[in-house]
């Protein structure tokens, strides 16, 4: 019997040499990112609650944390409507206390371009969608597969009109409800099915009809498994927590309903967040101050109110950003029990209607 040996040249990619394992990816509010093996967290034995090891700067904090395989992808969306790719294995590893690396040093962004949303994607499959929203109320829905071919300088996520900007992107199954909120205290909730899928470079359709001078400041997606309340935070340190049941489903493109009464006292809306009793929020001011507050300290009130004071500000000081903390999720990776921490102050003074 004769054996014939045939020469063949196989293709071997860098990824073939990388062991596939789960990583904990941590992203800070200041734009730093790092990864660590899940086993590093499981090996811990400590009882502190909310004590993440990531401390990039005194004024920074963990805003997003998720578990992803080294072969998974991360989509990074910017305010100019571009999306950049990162493989999880391309993210630098760091110890529990390391700051990580600035995301803008891992992708090619232009001067002045801002990262708005980071989405982990396990695999690119048809039937899942990226929904984007802009400041001028334009909404777009695109099949996830359209984002599966990366380029070094990023690719267009949507075509943006002059003077407009991308404010958020979400990954959906095509059957969620979309909530948009505006700076002047309006909001609209409509079915995602009202938005037909479009190509990646399409502009999108009208999601919310805005009054002159108004703009969209936040977007959330609602599913059956989503948290039950919507928190609205205003520039002058007021906020409110309202059940989602008070936000009726409407048709896309309307002017919406009042989510909070804005006035000279409480100021314009800064952001909205979907929350539950276990959520913590971080409020950031234009003077660099941070306040961590528990959502459970916000009592539920109706839409048509000015809210309650959630942060006492100095003369001329304003809230400029709101983040939903992810530190609690990191602690859930630990095997040790948790201890209670002192609740944040605030959330007791209600403004008049």
Q: What is the pLDDT of residue 256?
A: 95
Per-residue pLDDT averaged across 62-83, rounded? 91
Least confident of 22-26, 36-40, 224-228: 224-228
pLDDT, residue 344, reads: 37
The CA–CA distances, whole Å, from 268 to 79, 111, 183, 184, 234 equal: 21, 28, 5, 6, 5
Local confidence band at 94 (pLDDT 50, 70, 90 cut-offs): confident
User: Domain map of the chain by residue range?
Assistant: 15-337
Higher pLDDT among residues 218 and 122, named by residue:
218
More confident: 128 or 45:
128
Q: Answer yes or no: is pLDDT of 47 > 50.
A: no
Rounded to whole angstroms, how far apart are CA atoms 139 and 206?
6
Instruction: Say what the pLDDT of residue 96 is.
Output: 72
Distance between the two ends of the chain, CA-based, in angstroms? 94
pLDDT in the model for residue 333 = 53
d(CA 66, CA 75): 13
pLDDT given at position 53: 45
Q: Is the pLDDT of residue 117 over 90?
A: yes
Other residues' Cβ atoms within 10 Å of the Cβ of residue 175 = 11
Residue among 306, 240, 233 at smallest CA distance from 270 = 233
Q: Cα–Cα–Cα angle for 316, 317, 323, nearest 5°?
A: 155
Look at residue 166 in the predicted model and tell me its pLDDT. 98
DSSP 8-state assignment for residue 36: E
Which CATH code fits 15-337?
Answer: 2.120.10.90
Higher pLDDT, 133 or 69: 133
pLDDT mean over 82-109: 89
pTM for the model stands at: 0.82
Is residue 283 pLDDT above 60, yes or no?
yes
CA torsion 306→137→245→278, rounded to 10°? -70
């Amino acid at each position: 019997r004769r054996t014939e040996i045939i020469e063949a040249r196989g293709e071997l990619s860098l990824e073939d040499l990388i062991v596939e394992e789960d990583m904990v990816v941590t992203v800070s509010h200041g734009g730093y990112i790092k990864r660590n093996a899940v086993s590093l967290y499981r090996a811990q034995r400590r009882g502190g609650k909310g004590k993440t090891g990531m401390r990039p700067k005194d004024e920074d904090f963990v805003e997003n944390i998720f578990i992803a395989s080294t072969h998974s992808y991360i989509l990074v969306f910017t305010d100019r409507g571009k999306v950049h790719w990162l493989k999880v294995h391309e993210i630098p590893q760091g110890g529990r206390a390391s700051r990580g690396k600035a995301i803008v040093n891992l992708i090619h962004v232009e001067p002045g371009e801002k990262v708005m949303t980071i989405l982990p994607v396990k695999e690119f499959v048809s039937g899942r969608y990226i929904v984007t929203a802009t400041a001028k109320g334009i909404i777009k829905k695109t099949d996830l597969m359209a984002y599966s071919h990366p380029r070094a300088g990023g690719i267009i996520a949507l075509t943006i009109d002059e003077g407009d900007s991308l404010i958020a992107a979400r990954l959906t199954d095509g059957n969620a409800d979309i909530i948009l909120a505006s700076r002047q205290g309006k909001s609209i909730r409509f079915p995602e099915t009202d938005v037909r899928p479009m190509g990646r470079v399409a502009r999108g359709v009208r999601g919310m009809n805005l009054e002159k001078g108004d703009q969209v400041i936040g977007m959330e997606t609602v599913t059956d498994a989503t948290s039950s309340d919507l928190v609205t935070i205003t520039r002058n340190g007021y906020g409110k927590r309202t059940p989602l049941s008070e936000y009726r489903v409407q048709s896309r493109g309307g002017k919406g309903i009042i989510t909070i009464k804005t006035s000279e006292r409480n100021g314009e809306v800064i952001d909205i967040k979907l929350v539950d009793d276990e959520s913590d929020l971080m409020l950031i001011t234009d003077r660099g101050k941070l306040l961590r507050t528990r959502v459970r300290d916000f009592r539920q009130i109706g839409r048509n109110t000015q809210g309650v004071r959630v942060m006492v500000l100095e003369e001329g000081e304003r809230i400029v950003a709101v983040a939903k903390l992810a530190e609690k999720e990191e602690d859930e990776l630990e095997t040790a029990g948790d201890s209670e921490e002192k609740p944040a102050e605030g959330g007791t003074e209600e403004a008049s209607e």
